[in-house]
Amino acid sequence: MPNKPEKFAHPFYTSWRSMKQRCMNKNHEQWKNYGGKGVTICDEWMQFAGFEKWAKASSWSPGKTLDRINPSGNYEPKNCRWATPLEQGANRRIESSRIVTARGKTMSVRQWSIETGIFFTTLYKRYHAGIRGDAFLAPPKNPATPKGAKV
């Protein structure tokens, strides 16, 4: 089997192809969350060369994938970046995130977990129990002892 041209093996090409499938192919499993919600691709990126030019000038590194800064916005240079899975997880659409306001800040349950060090599962259970405000961030009654900690 002949080798594929180098560009087809590069993550830029994979990201570009996946972006187009999500936005333009009604048979793609994720189309309903992208093209089906009106997410489009700018004219410049419809051809791989335009996308590749932006990608090479941006902050791509291994482990990062294409992310829309405004999750409801389109695929275009001013609304895209390369992000880690953690950054992308914190950047979900508001309607799909569990949002809590406490201590004068509004963040997702996952972001609160990262900021406070309280296990995500603890905060998730509190969220679904209807606990909000400062009580949502109260220290756990039986905090887990980190591995290797001296008791």
Calpha distance 90→107 (Å, rounded): 9
Question: Whole-model pTM?
Answer: 0.59
Calpha distance 16→47 (Å, rounded): 9
Question: What SS3 state is found at 59?
Answer: coil
Calpha distance 129→34 (Å, rounded): 31
List the beta strands (DSSP E) in 61-132. Answer: 65-68, 80-83, 99-102, 105-108
Please give the chain's pLDDT, 151 residues, in tens. Answer: 445 555 566 778 999 999 999 999 999 999 998 999 999 999 999 999 999 999 999 988 888 889 998 888 899 999 999 988 877 877 765 444 678 889 988 888 888 888 898 988 888 899 889 999 999 999 888 765 544 444 4
